[in-house]
Amino acid sequence: MILIADSGATKTEWALVQPDGKKLYGFYSQGYNPNYISGPEIVADIRANLPEGLYCDGVREIYFYGAGVTPLQYPFMEKTLREVFTKVEKVFIAMDTLASCRALLQRKPGFAAILGTGANSCLYDGENEGLNVDSCGFILGDEGSGANLGKRLITDYIRRNMPEEVYEIVGRELGKNNDELIDQIYTKPFPNRFCAQYSRFISENLDTHPYFYTLVLGAFRDFFSNIVSHYPDYQQYTFNCVGSVAWYYQDILKRVAEEFGMEMGTVLKAPMEGLITYHTSK
């Protein structure tokens, strides 16, 4: 049996499938970015979330795609997974960008991006990811991501850089004063997840006040200006993207892509169904 995992900054989606593509089990666990979580924590969390009836010794191949899992961390992730799935014969580890490529494009070359809790992008040759303009992560970049949208909202709130009526709405949603917000982001675990949770609030208020639409529009323009437009001849590609932010804001995303001369391609909320097709098709 084949176990496929798509691990983002917030959660990991798992699918146990037969070689013919039939899905036997699907389940979720927390995200396993190795920059924020240890091996024993990963092992414990996987075991805590395994569905009843899933026989670990029956897993023969694992394909694990993870946010923040750079090649230097591949051995760490393989060792950690083998502690849970002790009979596995093949463990393939890759970054989440390759998952987006395979889900969106299968075996066709092109451009693929991720806009979820975090952001990423790359060119794809039909088999492996190629050139990657680094998103620089939550602190330095990740423009257009859910975490970036939340960070922009919180920054504007702290600076009172928003209309008064919006300030009141946002204040009720945040439920914290300026010092508490800064403390939450600078001293508590997973500040990216904390900020990203407010992407849903922003999407629900797009029609409440132009501020919210403008916030998203600015974030996507920065994503294209600082990242996408730095790919050579980027306008020759269609813009293909996976992730909850891309899915829920795709009308705004399409507007910005066209502003930068890119035709909109495929948008997926999550990559799993595409990954199952990729790994079980001949």
Does 156 score more than 90 pLDDT? yes
The closest alpha carbon to 138, from 148, 129, 128, belongs to 148
pLDDT in the model for residue 282: 65
What six digits make up the tokens of 107? 């075996």
* φ, ψ dihedrals at 148, nearest 5°: -70, -40
Does 35 score more than 80 pLDDT? no
pTM: 0.82
The region of weakest confidence among 20-29, 45-54, 84-93, 140-149 is 20-29
Is residue 223 within 8 A of residue 143, CB to CB? The reply is yes
The region of weakest confidence among 22-31, 205-214, 265-274 is 22-31
For the stretch 92-149, pLDDT in tens is: 999 888 999 999 999 999 999 999 988 999 999 988 888 888 887 878 888 999 999 9
For the chain, domains (ranges, CATH) are: 2-96+272-280 (3.30.420.40)
Percentage of residues in the chain having pLDDT higher than 90 = 62
Does 210 score more than 90 pLDDT? yes
The closest alpha carbon to 16, from 5, 8, 6, belongs to 5
Does 17 score more than 90 pLDDT? no
Does 51 score more than 70 pLDDT? yes
Task: Give burial (CB, 10 Å; 0-12/13-18/19+) of 81.
Answer: buried
Task: Give burial (CB, 10 Å; 0-12/13-18/19+) of 188.
Answer: exposed
H or E segment at 77? helix 74-84
Does 252 score more than 90 pLDDT? yes
